[in-house]
Structure formats: C-alpha cells, structure tokens
Structure 1
Amino acid sequence: MKLESAIPLRRMAPKPDRPVSFFEFWPGWLFYTPVVAHWILLGLRHGDFSLPTAANPRITTGGLCGESKLSILSQVGLAARDLVAPACGVLAGPHGAEAAEDAMAAAGLRYPVVVKPDIGCNGTGVRLIRDFAALARYMDAFPPGETVVVQHYVDEPHEAGLFYVRHPDEPVGCITSLTIKRPPVVVGDGRSTLRTLILRDERSGLISHLFLERLAAQLDTVPKLGEAVRLVFVGNHCKGSIFQNATDMVTPELTASIDRLAKAMPDFFFGRIDVRFASMAQLRRGLDFRVIEINGAGSEATHVWDPRTRLVDAWRAQFFHYGAAFRIGAANRRRGFASSGVRGMLRHWRNQRRLMAIYPMND
C-alpha cells in the first residue's frame, strides 16, 4: 500500500478562505451514498461485505464500530508506549466519581483529565474535567454499567489526525492523510454577547446550531476586549472544529514514528491516529507528540473536511481508503483471520448508536 500508489489527496479548490465547504454539513445519507455504493461493489467483489472488519484482526470489528478505545490503546507495546497519553477505565454507576479518582490515582493521573466514552465516535461525550465536582456530574450523567475512559490531558497547543495504512505483505506503512484540527474561537470586543459574536463570525455563524444549545448558559455573557473564547473542546468537524489538510507536510521522520507506533500493536494495519503536538516543525521531525486516540477501520481520512477540498476529491479519498481496508482485510483472510460477518458488524453498530444517544453532551 505504497504512498505513491495512492490517489492525489491535496488537490484544492481555488478559494482557500472558504469558511465552510458546501458539502461539509450535508446530511450523512447524501454525502455517503456513493461511498456505500462503492462498499457494496467491493463486498460483492471480495465475497464479504464485512471484510474491513478483518483489517485490524485483534480489534473488535477491526475498529469499524463498537470497539473499545481503552482496549486499543492498551495494545500499544513497550516499544512505543512513550508516545501514548496514559489512560484508565472505570464503570459508571453508584460512587462512580470516587471509583474514577481511585483509578486515576492508580494510573498516576491528576486533574485536569479528559473523560470520554469507551465506545463511541465523532467526539460524542468527550469533556475536559478540572475537578471532582465536574467529574461527579459527568459520571452521574453517564449510562450506568458502561465504561468511561479517563485520560491524561495533553496540554499541547495543537491537534492532528494522521491516517496510517500498511498492507500485511509490506514491511513499512505510510501516512496517507494528515489533518490539523483547530478549535473555533471568537474574540470579545467588550460590548457584544457571546451569542452575537458566534452569530456574526464568518464560519461559526453558518453552523451556530452546533454551539448555541451547548453554550446556552454563557450566551448572554460579554467577553472582555481581546478575550478569546473557545467554542468547542473536542477536535471533530461535526462538532464545529476547523480541519486543515496538511498531507503535503508528511515527512519520512514522521512516518517512521507513526510506523513504530503501529508496529508496536499486534496486527494493526489501517486507521487514524489522533495526536496532540507542540509545533508543526517538531511534528514533521516525528517528535514532541502524544497519541490521544487510535481509530480503526471505521475512521476517516479527515482532510476531506478541509473547506478547500473539492467534493470529487473527498469521494476519491473515501473510495481509496475503504478500498485499502478491503484489500488489507482480504490479505488477513488469507493469513487465517476471519471478519466479524454482517450480523456481528450490525450488532456492534446498533449498540454503539444506542449508547451515543444517551451519553452526556461533549465540551
């Protein structure tokens, strides 16, 4: 799965200052209809519609849906453990906050921490927690009996998603996508309310529905002159974060670091690795970053949500990556691994959807 064999991923539209691409917030069924059709064709060709679930055979459904985030992180071996932000898990329920603090102490974690569902996607339920009171409120709102991940807060200024692909027959993988994630921010003028600042912002005003309900308690406050107000914490475009395609910034040094991480996991070949990092210069050298999440076959090459990306190129990127997932799954099938089957895949997807509907709101 050599990088030079991939489709060109950085072909841009002529308007670099476009705040929102015309398809970025389309209904899912509209954007993904060609992707689903392509998936069906690949399933017919390979004789298994669930074959991508064998792309990472040591992960539930290959990381397509319903997988445990904590379980994936725990698979990173000693050879790359230094790259991963420490995390622990705790069951929600009576005295959940106390149990979480005990788990934090055992793992050497201190406030602030990031909490998130063990099963989920799209940043649902992710929050930055600064004290016990906030932790207690979160645990009380979480579905009882489900696992909450408590993770060290990586206080670096930048976040990125790197898509990694390696065919099982190839010794070295490649980074096929690099996306820089930036939080939406409005700056106070000392007169306008937060609501007004959001509504008149070039980008946030177009997607204000993503912020107004969650920030309802703060909307009538007046930020000070020059005060920067971050509108969302989680780095997910469907929650309002801004994505920038930086695939052309990938270097051999960065690829080597991500390859070391991937190979420190058993049979990991395909997925997106989300990191926080100190500077672009250091990231390009493969230094000063920490992994906050590893996603498998269900993850996307998120550069497609850069407002400059053309629709045809977004679809081409989706076709390339899911085609790679099928080819890797087929290679693993020849190695003796089995896919989850369509029923198993749907069972995990339904459970994930059920849980996401009852998780607490994200930051």
Structure 2
Amino acid sequence: MKFALKDSEKLAPNHGLPPLNLGSKPYSYFEFWPAWFFYIPVLLYWLVMSLRHRSFGLPLIVNPHIPLGGMVGESKAAILDMAGEHARTFMLPFLKFHYDGRISAESCLRLCEQAGLQLPLVVKPDLGCRGTGVRLISSEQQLQGYLKRFPLGREFLMQRLAPYSAEAGVFYVRDPEASCGRVVSITLKYQPLVVGDGEKSLRELIECDPRARKLKQIYFERQQSQLDKVPAKGEHIALAFAGSHSRGSIFRNGNAYITEQLEAAIDSVMQDFPDFHYGRLDIKFANIEDLTRGQHFALIEVNGVSSEATHIWDSRATLGEAFATLFWQYRTLFSMGRAMRARGYKVPSIGVMLQTWFRELRQAKDYPQSD
C-alpha cells in the first residue's frame, strides 16, 4: 500500500488536519435546514437543465459502468471492485457479506482474519449514503450487537481501519473528452469533540457547546451510556466517527490545499476506474502537508454522480456560494451526459431512478445507528 504511519501518530482525533477554529460562527444559518427544503432550488435547476438538453436523465450516464451513474442505489463494493491494480494500492481492503441471519460475528471475524483484516474494523452497509449504519468495531461482542440490528437479506462490508485520523472528501471531475481530470473541491472533515472540565457531565458539555447542541439528539442517542459520566479535565471526547455532515462531522473548505501534485495523484487513481468522470473520493491521510504532495492517503469509498462538493457545508460559506457550487455541478453533469449520449450510451428512465431512490430511502431506516 502507498501509506504508512508513525507509531506516535496513530488515530488521535483529527490528527494531521489544520487547527480548527470555529470562531464566532460555529454553524451557518442554512446548515441544518431540512434537506427537502434546501434542495428545492437544485431540483428546479435540474428541471431547467433537462428542458435545455431535452433529457431528464443525462447525469445518469456520466459514469456508465456504475448503475445510474452512482446517483442512487449503487453498491460500494461494486464500485471499488472496478479498480485496477494501481488504484488498489491506495484502497483500504474489505470483505463483503450477505446477512442471512445465520452468519455469526465469530465466523465474520474468522473470514476477515484469513483475508488479513484484523480488529478494529469498520462495518457499514453496502448500499447506503450519508454515513448510514457506519460503525467502528473493536470486539466480537460489538459486531454481534451490530448484526442483531442489521436487516436480513442485505449486504454489509467489513473494511480495514485506516492508519490515519485525518479525513477529506476530494471531488474529482474529468470531462469525457479530456485526457486528465481535475480536483475541484476538497472538504476537510473534523470529528466533533468536547473537552472535559472535571465538573460537567458529557450531557452538559454537549449542551454548552454552541455547535454540538444543535445536533444534541444525534449525539445523545449515540452516547446514551456515557451521558451522565463526568470526563476528566482536559479529556477529549469524540462525538462522531463517521465522516458525514448529517451524522455530526464538522466540514471545512480545503480548496486552498489543492496542488498539481495532489491533482496528479488523484487523477492517476481515478483513471484506473473505467470511464469514471465525476464523483467524490472519501480518503484518510497522514497530514495536510503530505496530502498537498499527493502522498500517504488511503481510499475509503468512491461516490458517483450524487456527490456534491461538500465544502459548501463549511459554516463560513454563504447560501449564494452554496447554490452557485451546486448549480455549477449540475451544469457540468448535463454537459458530460450530453457527451456520453453522443457516444451511444442510453439514458435510463426516470422511473427506474425514482424506484431505486425510494427503495434506498426505505432501506436506510432499517440500518443500525452510526458511530
């Protein structure tokens, strides 16, 4: 693999990221609006683009080897399995399991060990988005508890835990006619933390934090057994593991760290996925300096055309900047889709997309709580 970590650097929360200072603006006024409300202008813009290009579904053929381009219902494992030899050197290895109610935690871990995967491991549904059902598993008992809550007939992945703590979402675009792709956005993802003072309980620390209290119901559910405990003075308590904004992570615009070296490294990885033109890579990396050099990063997931440049969820972003970014994304998608249609790719029906989307929404409700 193309990554390594010094023993002294292992997995301290947010290690390797630039210092986080939320200042006087811990969240933006639109950051926690209901998704259905926030995305109304985006849906209307999609309709405008559809009329202009005479097709509602052009974005769905931008990544032609991923069902629906990765808009909805895509398999995490299937996308990673598309990777060539070079891209695989950056990937965190995983195993996929079908849960039929008979497979035990012990047998899962035995198979993982045979494949060179040892605890701690990350477990997550194969189908799902926005950090749904992602857990850090450190024992057989924890995995057993996860499986008890996992729906029958679905697939889940067990993936090696990255040797790095710092996480980022890297947005990649390659025009179908271009020989090289571009990194157009980087989002730095911070685990939300509270710091003990030796007096307040975890519940009180969350209530006192201006950002954490906005998401206290998420944190309270996740930290049920710890809420009444009093952390020691100076003790750092991580409130979320999954690097998802909707699960409580803090996002920061990292576009200033895009360099030619990083862009070349990411492009070399993504060129090893057949006809991949548009999406976001979720990566872990050693430190921000190495990231700018395109070194010491590990690939967790690859997301398709449903991806967005998540730096818009930086609390310093304006609503106008957020919509300008999203509108640019969909202009780009429709333009790319037009080029792919000219190559002979058939646009799927919107009925298929909606059916898949509704099924994904139903399934998401069944998954265990994320860390």
TM-score range, shorter chain: over 0.9
Deviations 1:6-47 (A, max 9, x none): xxxxxxxxx964101000000112210110000111112222
The match for 1:79 is 86
Residue 220 (structure 2) aligned to one of 195, 198, 212: 212
Is 1:183 aligned to residue 187 of structure 2? no
**Structure-2 residue corresponding to 1:239:** 247
Residues 241-280 of structure 1 mapped to structure 2, 5 A cutoff: 241-280=249-288
Q: Does 1:88 align with 2:95?
A: yes
Q: 2:27 matched to which residue of 1? A: 20
Note the alpha carbon deviations across 1:149-194, whole angstroms, 9 max, x for none.
1100003120000100011101111111101000100011111100
Given candidates 27, 30, 34, the residue that maps to 2:37 is 30
Aligned-partner residue type, residue 47 of structure 1: R
Contact 1:89 1:103 in 2 (8 A): no
* 1:314 alignment partner in structure 2: 322
Match of 1:340 in 2: 348
Alpha carbons 1:90, 1:103 under 8 Å: kept: no
Give the equivalent residue in structure 2 for 1:40: 47
- Structure-2 separation of matches of 1:256 and 1:353: 36
- What secondary structure, in the 3-state scheme, does the structure 2 residue paired with 1:79 have? helix
Question: Would the aligned equivalents of 1:96 and 1:140 in 2 still touch at CA under 8 Å?
Answer: no
Cα offsets for 1:223-264 (capped at 9, x unmatched): 111110000101111111110001121000100111011110
Decide whether the 8 Å contact of 1:66 with 1:348 is kept in 2: yes
Letter of the aligned partner of 2:218 in structure 1? L
Q: Hey, what's the Cα distance between the residues in 1 that align with 2:337 and 2:112? A: 37
Shift of 1:323: 1.5
TM-score (norm 2): 0.92
| Equivalent position SS for 1:358 | coil
Give the aligned residue type for 1:81.
Answer: R
Alpha-carbon contact 1:90-1:99 (below 8 Å) kept: no
- Where 1:208 maps in the other structure, the secondary structure is helix
CA distance in 1, matches of 2:215, 2:237: 16
Distance in 1 separating the partners of 2:55 and 2:103? 45
| Residue identity opposite 1:219 in structure 2 | L
Instruction: Look up the equivalent residue of 1:244 and give its one-letter code.
Output: R
SS of structure 2 residue aligned to 1:220: coil
2:61 counterpart letter in structure 1: A
Q: Would you identify which runs of 4 or more consecutive aligned residues in structure 1 move more than 3 Å?
A: none
**Paired residue for 2:16?**
none
What letter is aligned with 1:248? A
Could you say which residue in structure 2 is the equivalent of 1:97?
105
Q: Which runs of 5+ in 2 are unaligned?
A: 1-21
Aligned mates of 1:103, 1:18 — CA distance in 2 = 47
Structure 1 Cα separation of the partners of residues 138 and 271 of structure 2: 34
Alignment correspondent of 1:110: 118
Measure the CA separation in 1 of the matches of 2:49 and 2:111: 44
Q: What residue in structure 2 maps to residue 226 of structure 1?
A: 234
CA distance in 1, matches of 2:107, 2:75: 19
1:209 is displaced (CA, Å) by 2.1
Structure 2 residue aligned with 1:6: none
- 1:296 maps to which of 272, 288, 304: 304
Q: CA deviation at 1:97?
A: 2.2
Change (3 A) 1:106 1:238: same
Partner of 1:145: 153
TM-score (norm 1): 0.94
Question: 2:361: which partner in 1?
Answer: 353
Q: 1:170 is matched with which residue: 148, 159, 178?
A: 178
Q: 1:203 aligns with which of 211, 217, 239?
A: 211
- CA drift of 1:137 comes to 1.1
For structure 1, which runs of at least 5 residues remain unmatched after alignment?
1-14
Instruction: Give me the whole-angstrom Cα distance separating, in 1, the residues matched to 2:255 and 2:352.
Output: 34
Identity of matched residues, %: 43
The total of aligned residue pairs comes to 349
1:120 maps to 2:128: yes
Provide the C-alpha distance between the structure 1 equivalents of 2:363 and 2:223, rounded to a whole number of angstroms. Answer: 23
2:73 corresponding residue in structure 1: 66
Matched, 1:331 2:339: yes
For 1:36 and 1:16, locate their aligned partners in 2 and report how far apart those are by CA, in whole Å: 33
- Structure 1 distance, partners of 2:307, 2:114, is 31
C-alpha distance in structure 2 between counterparts of 1:100 and 1:319, whole Å: 44
Question: C-alpha displacement at 1:305, in angstroms?
Answer: 0.1
C-alpha separation between the residues in 1 aligned to 2:43 and 2:107? 42
SS in 2 for 1:80: helix
Instruction: State how far apart, in whole Å, the 2-side matches of 1:344 and 1:105 are.
Output: 39
Structure-2 separation of matches of 1:362 and 1:156: 20
**Helix, strand or coil at the partner of 1:133:** helix
Q: State the alpha-carbon separation in 2 of the partners of residues 106 and 264 from structure 1.
A: 27
CA drift at 1:99:
4.2
